[in-house]
Amino acid sequence: MICPKCGKVDSLVLSDYYQISHDYRILKNGKVSKRFKRSSEHTEEWSAVTCNECGSQWSSVVNGKGGFYISDDGTIVLDG
């Protein structure tokens, strides 16, 4: 795909953002344990398309407004 800002081919990257947490037990003495369990990943429900050449970025669509969306056939559609 071509970046609509700079015209560079194959420079666009889609990033899906995820969140994890490190869950620390609080010990009987009130201190935080040094050991932790990693929670399962869950999506932030936010994505971005970035051009590695010019740095332009489009955020995912939220409530019908945004910089890009993924069509039914899996194609990225950039707004502007």
pTM: 0.64
Query: Does some domain include residue 31?
Result: no
Query: Does some domain include residue 75?
Result: yes
Query: Does some domain include residue 30?
Result: no
Domain ranges, residue 55: 1-16+44-80
Which residues pair with residue 62 across a beta bridge?
A: 65
Q: Are 78 and 14 in contact (CB under 8 A)?
A: no
- What pLDDT score does 78 carry? 84
Q: Are 19 and 41 in contact (CB under 8 A)?
A: yes
- For the chain, the domain total comes to 1
pLDDT along the chain (80 residues), means of 10: 90 87 91 90 80 90 68 81
Query: Does some domain include residue 5?
Result: yes
- What pLDDT score does 12 carry? 93
- What pLDDT score does 46 carry? 78
- What pLDDT score does 13 carry? 93
DSSP letter (8 states) at residue 27: P
Using CA atoms, how far residue 16 sits from 47, 50, 69, in Å, is 4, 11, 12
- What pLDDT score does 66 carry? 61
Which residues pair with residue 14 across a beta bridge?
A: 49
